[in-house]
Amino acid sequence: MKGTNSVKMRGYLMYPKLGVTANGFPKFTGTIAIPIVYKSGGEEKEGKSYHKLCAWGAVAEALGEMLEQTPIEIDGTLNSRKYDSACRSCGNPEKKYWTEVQVNNFIIINE
């Protein structure tokens, strides 16, 4: 069986941050806030779903120029990463995991 790793999201850019790796390659990190509607106690309520973003190279530089709350649509893939850390309370080593969307392309939405 062949798998597919493809993500398309539409929402608002939050916490955009452009940086560089140790060798000077552009890296973007941020969050996309996606408006959602859900039911609670029989009533419809509005909320947001937040997802971490990352991008590299030219896409990172372009995203780094965007302002917070910019409406965007992104195309990308899901990535899972891990790193070793020390437990805050006991000092023992532990692994930390997170999932993010690697942005391959994006467009600004004119609302």
| pLDDT confidence bin for 1, thresholds 50/70/90 | confident
Domain boundaries, the chain: 7-108
What tens digit of pLDDT does each residue of 52-101 get?
Answer: 999 999 999 999 999 999 999 999 999 998 888 877 778 788 888 889 99
Q: What is the pLDDT of residue 14?
A: 97
**Model confidence pTM above 0.85:** no
Q: What is the pLDDT of residue 81?
A: 86
Measured CA to CA, the distance from residue 74 to residue 9 in angstroms comes to 5
Distances (CA, A) of 53 to 15, 29, 47, 72: 10, 6, 19, 12
| pLDDT confidence bin for 3, thresholds 50/70/90 | confident
What tens digit of pLDDT does each residue of 18-34 get?
Answer: 999 999 999 999 999 99
- Superfamily the domain 7-108 falls into: Nucleic acid-binding proteins (2.40.50.140)
DSSP of 22-85, one letter per residue? TTS-EEEEEEEEEEEEEEETTEEEEEEEEEEEEEEHHHHHHHHTSPTT-EEEEEEEEEEEEEEE
